Structure formats: structure tokens, C-alpha cells
A and B are shown apart, each in its own frame.
Chain A
């Protein structure tokens, strides 16, 4: 499958455009930024809806606490900040003011994962799934493409409970929608059918799963299922268990530490339900992340079509009969 990257639109742009469309018809939509309107591609939003954007300056704790105060007054507050700062600097505000106090803030983590590439670890968010999964009353979403991004933003606007949505800034092709044309937060989407192995990816790691599946089909005649598990919490348990039911290998892929993210969530679900499929978590290992662009970091750690194909062949090669 050839991806024409030059035409691809970043999820970040889609987020901004979707929000503008929503703000046009709903005056309760407020965007709160921490000197992040440029990074969030929200300059046009600010120009069109100056009364619906609130700048707090570089103060992420205040960003989230303030947004909680806005949400408790009935505002649909989107707190937008780089995921690295949003989910670390203001973690206590997320835990207490948003989740615990049940103020339905929409926390938008932009330039998530290793999107900032060579800016380094201060700007990477490889911990956000892990820390946020352990907080009650918070939905966690990582859309894989433009379609999922737009839909998740639209649905988040109507949610009456807190939600965290994170995505990157690289152009993303829209993945297959013929198998599952719908999007519901909390329900994973199958974007490729297959019975020899299942890839479960989230966010921008779904694309390399799809690329690996394509190569495995073409070069090896191996049919893989690919699931976009855009919602990390609550986990779509029935979809995952159904995918694992035939006992074939399962590989998870995420732009996150291998600790505490999608992979461990899926592993816990499978193991506690008696599934003993061959299993591999692909993500960022527990080490100082190699320097490079997002795509170079992905390649380095095997979060790539080629890398995931290799992982799949390894799992299939040892005793699977393939």
C-alpha cells in the first residue's frame, strides 16, 4: 500500500478545523491555551472566535485548574497544550480538579509521543497513557488518522465526563474505513481483517501496523488483522478478546513507553481471561530515547512497517506452523 505522505493532513490541523466548526454553532465551546495557540494551530480559531479562546500563559497547572472551573460552570472547555507538559506539569490538576471533581474538561495533548523528535525527552510524552490510566473517571483517546481525530473531538464536545485526547503533528493518511465506517469513543475499529495474527495499534502507531500487514500479505501470504484501538480507557475488551480467540499471535504498537500503556492493558486483559497467545508489546523501551525525528525514532525501535513485520515473523516462526 503506497502512502502519499505529501497530501496527508496532520491530525493537529483536523483538530483545529473541527473545533472551529463546533465553535461556530456552540458558543459554550471555549479553548484554553498555555501560550500554545500557535503550536495547536489555533491562530485561526482565535481570529474567528476571540471570545471563545482563553490564554493563560505558560502555566499548565493554571490551564487545567481554570478549565475545570470553566467546565463546572457549563462551559465545554478544551484545554490545549503539548501532551508532555499537560500530563506531567498539571497531573495533579487532572487528577483532582478534572477527574476526581468530575468536571468534564476536554484535555487535548498536542504533539504527543515523540512528535517533537530531536527536541528530546523534555518534550516527549511517553508516560501519559500510564499515569492517566491509573486515574479514575478519565477517558483516554489516541486517534490514528484524520477521521478518528475529527470524530473524537466532536464526541468529546458532547461528553459529560472528562476526556484526554492526544495526537501528533505529522501528516496522516486516512486508513481503511470500509470494514468499520463508524467511530465511537470506547469502541476499537477493525481496519483490516485477517486470521493469522492481530496487530492492535493506537494513535500514529496504527499506520505502521497497517504497513506491516500489507507487506506480510504481499511477501509472505500472511493475513493479519489490524485494529485501531483509539480508546486506551475504557478498553474495548470484547473486541480484543474476540481478536485473540483463535489463539494466534497478538502484537500491540504504541508511541509510548512499553510500561503502563496500551500493551500492558491488553496483556492484562488477555492473561486474566485465560488467553495464552504469543504476545509482544512494541513501543519505546525503558531507556534514554535515541535522538532523531519522530520517524527515525519509530524506525529505531521497530514501530515501523518493516520492524513490525519482523516482530510478526518472529512470533509466527516459532511454533505457529507458519
Chain B
């Protein structure tokens, strides 16, 4: 996929995230908008996962540790053809499988997540099993910055380095905010790079809302043989919608009709601009 196609996907995914959250009147808007570029690049550029190979033991694995940003994952999986996109009109509805966190009831989901600090340990198990079976697959997870306060993440980090799991890559969606406020005010996680490096991982930092930069970074895995890879993806919560960017209330805010119209208008303008660039090129 070309850079422009990736960029276009990101804008369209943002439109869809807002569409289904608006329809459901529920969802984790800010975090889904901050991590969508990461998921876009992972599923469209990096990972060997598709509806066709989803039952193949050799497929790459993705476990979303920050499960609450499930809307981002839903729209990507729908786009890949795991399920019809219109299913998302049932998001959070009575008896719908499309709940507010990932579950295996939805095709394409590897694990049920939602409690924080769980993804990395599960991924470590996946990666270790793959090593034992000599499967060349890779395992990915996206972590939230708030959830780095969970001790279980650091248990898993010790283990992944100890077992030299260089088939494991964790990506931190570092939008610098959590439900109560700025990470730095709630419980500081800096210096996160040095902490992760001290745990034996190789760290790269990248603009996590720049699909080209993300693609470049994630093409280089593992960053070092024999060590797990950690990407600090600097992102903006609510990215792509002017009045949501960096504004805390959009953590799980649902737009009003007027706000929804405004947000969709902004995104459509961004989409048109990209389309024109494609034509010009």
C-alpha cells in the first residue's frame, strides 16, 4: 500500500470510528483516534493477518492491550473483511457481539481484553510458544500510556527480555493523557524510554500519527536480534478532529449532533485534500 493510500485509510477509519461511536452513543473516542494510525499500518502494511489466513497457526498475532480503544480495531477489521461493516451499527447494543472491548466473538480478535496490563503477558506467551514451535510469526500489542502503571506490564517486560523474544513488538500509544488527566499529573511514567531500555528492550520513538514514519519503523523489526522491540508512538488524543485534539473530555466523550457534523466535515475535507493529491500525483 502506498503512503497516500495509507493516509487515506487513516482518514476514512477516523470517519468510521466517529460514525459508529456517534450511532452507539458510546465509545472511547480520544484513544481510538490516537491509535488508529498504528492499527492502520499494522494491519495494512506490517502484519500477515487476513480473514483468509486467520485460522492458520502461522499468522502474526495482534492483541490490543488497551482494549477500550476497540472502535479503532473494529473499523480496521471490518475494512479487511473480517465482518460486514454495517454490523458495527449494533455497537454496544443489547445482545450484540460488538461490545466496548475486544472479544473473540468477533472474527479477527485474538483475545478478550479490557482489563489493563494484560496484553503484554499474553503476547509473551504467544511469542514464546512460536519460538518453541519454530514458527516465524511475530506478535504485536498496543499499550496505553495510562496502563503502564500496571505492574503486570513490567513483569511481562522482564520475562520477554529474559527469553529473548525478538518476535515480540509492543507499541505504546503515547498520547500523554488518561481518564483523570495528563499522565504526568496522575502518575508520571517518564523517563519511559530509559525504563523500557533498562528492562532489556530495544526502543524506537516515532510520530505515532504519521503512517509513513510508523511504516518505516515497523519494517525494521526486530530492532535487534535477541531482544524484544518497543515503539514509543507519540500520538495526540482525539487526533484528526480539531476540537477533540488533546482535550481530556473526549476520552470517552460522544459528540453532539452539531459536534458530529463539524468533526465529519473536517475529516471529509482532509479526505478530499488527500484525494486531490493522489490525482495530482
Contact = CB atoms under 8 A, between A and B. Distances in A.
Contacts of B159: 56-57, 59, 62, 66
Chain B interface secondary structure, helix, strand, loop or mixed? helix
Interface in A206-228: none
A132 to B, nearest CB: 17
A73 B156 contact: no
Interface string A67-88: 1111111110100000000000
A67 B129 CA distance: 10
Q: Which of B57, B110, B129 has the most CB of A within 10 A?
A: B129
Contacts of A75: 129, 132
A56 B127 CA distance: 14
B111 interface: yes
A101 B104 contact: yes
A65 B156 contact: yes
A71 B126 CA distance: 8
A93 B123 CA distance: 13
Contacts of A92: 115, 118
A68 B104 CA distance: 14
B114 interface: yes
A72 B118 contact: no
B124 interface: yes
A67 B114 CA distance: 18
Chain A interface secondary structure, helix, strand, loop or mixed? helix
Contact of A102 (B104, B132, B151, B155): B104
Given A59-B158, A62-B159, A69 B122 contact: yes
A23 interface: no
B48 interface: no
Nearest to A67: B125
Contacts of B156: 62, 65-66
B45 interface: no
Interface residues of A, number: 29
A97 B122 contact: yes
Nearest to B135: A73
A66 B122 contact: yes
Interface residues of B, number: 30
Contacts of B70: none
Contacts of B40: none
A57 B152 CA distance: 13
B129 A73 contact: yes
Interface string A97-115: 1001111000000000000
B34 interface: no
A67 B120 CA distance: 12
B130 A73 contact: yes
Given A56-B159, A93-B118, A69 B125 contact: yes
A138 to B, nearest CB: 14
Contacts of A155: none
Interface in A19-36: 30
A68 B122 contact: yes
A96 interface: yes
Contact of A61 (B127, B128, B155, B163): B155
Nearest to A65: B121
Given A62-B159, A101-B104, A101-B111, A70 B118 contact: no
Contacts of A65: 118, 120-122, 124-125, 152, 156
Given A61-B117, A68-B125, 4 more contacts: A62-B156, A65-B124, A70-B125, A97-B122
8 contacts: A57-B159, A59-B155, A62-B152, A64-B121, A69-B125, A71-B125, A96-B112, A102-B104
Interface of A: 30, 51, 54, 56-57, 59, 61-62, 64-75, 77, 92-93, 96-97, 100-103
